[in-house]
Structure 1
């Protein structure tokens, strides 16, 4: 359970993570106020990833349970994750397991582990506000299901993507808040439990839950920062 120190300031590992998340959640809510459909789906450059009608999808692994799907390309390890892969290997994770988690070949993992010098620049596509929100929605819905829920539903089928910004946000925030409220009840023992989360995409089953929470906060913060920048560019007429 979270603990509070003098003056109501949270203390301890869980308290600090909740404090960080709550502040990020508050700022994100303010920054997303007034989001309209055109801005939500705005593609600032050619070749963006977004949400699209199933018959219009161009990426090889686009997914979703309904008419609208979320773009997803061929699996790879981006350069920004090379250091994480090296840490996984140093911590004793086998090359085969790393390859399974990243959905890449063993040869690709070995290539990353033997890479020297500065990583080459990432070439991942620019993603729309709709894509970033949908990506977070999938992670929070799937994260809750595979940590606190029945651990049955495939996260890729958990979210019915929506081209309406208002509808997407109306379903997104309750999922985020459900995750946060469940996390607030985690014990110190559960924080240290490896595999407390069994989220099937990534390394969560092999990590202590404290690490999973830290990563979840980072994911939320960095995608919301990207969304805020896209809103700034849209407001100033970038590319027009």
Structure 2
């Protein structure tokens, strides 16, 4: 309402951050074309591909196009998170299940000392980044506000059309925004309000899950913005 100051409650701050990130993302993605959307900046890039052309071991999607996904692993930049999970009382078996790796791999990470080597990760296309974000927001909505039964990997029909991908993505963000905007303080503090099966959501208070969702949107959109800059400067 006119005359009201900015919200300073926990949910209000997160909503304002989300809204600002969404607004900047729309500005930066204006005019995205199909060629740029699918542009692979380097050999071995991850992207979305026709199902019959997929080369990564866990590429997923319900339709003719799938998104690249590699074998399960705990990246070096998450070693500290694994240590925190263990310190918080999570069993090695549960941590292994959380990361989809073996118990032996978790034990190896927990026993590691010193500075881990930097992760070697694939370069990704705008299509991959957008598809990854879309899949994440769609899956977490389903397992928080939806029926909590559909496979998160089968919720987004990936497309080679940049305009269609964006249309669907904005609709998903709109639904997410409407749902979180109606949350109560009690729901923010509810552990397991989100039952999303590919992460620690069931063990976390929802306010933490919500903050992580904002972080995902911000950092992936920043990467997409850089890819757009590189596309324009490629020649």
The answer to whether 1:229 aligns with 2:219 is no
Match of residue 188 from structure 1: 185
Task: Pick from 165, 172, 175 the counterpart of residue 175 of structure 1.
Answer: 172
TM alignment of 1:1-240, pairs within 5 A: 7-237=4-234, 240=235
Give distance in 1, aligned partners of 2:113 and 2:181. Answer: 42
Q: CA deviation at 1:7?
A: 4.0
Q: CA deviation at 1:41?
A: 0.5
Deviations 1:196-234 (A, max 9, x none): 000111010111101100111111111001001111111
> Cα RMSD between the aligned structures?
1.2
Give distance in 1, aligned partners of 2:124 and 2:149. Answer: 29
Give distance in 2, aligned partners of 1:216 and 1:167. Answer: 23
Give distance in 2, aligned partners of 1:36 and 1:146. Answer: 32
Q: Structure 1 stretches (4+) deviating beyond 3 angstroms?
A: none
Q: Secondary structure of the equivalent of 1:52?
A: strand
Q: Secondary structure of the equivalent of 2:49?
A: strand
Give distance in 2, aligned partners of 1:83 and 1:108. Answer: 14
Q: CA deviation at 1:92?
A: 1.3
Q: CA deviation at 1:91?
A: 1.2
In structure 2, runs of 5+ residues without a counterpart are none
Give the TM-score normalised by structure 1: 0.95
Paired residues in the alignment total 234
Give distance in 1, aligned partners of 2:79 and 2:135. Answer: 24
Structure 1 range deviating more: 125-134 or 79-88: 79-88
Give distance in 2, aligned partners of 1:93 and 1:26. Answer: 38
Give distance in 1, aligned partners of 2:233 and 2:80. Answer: 36
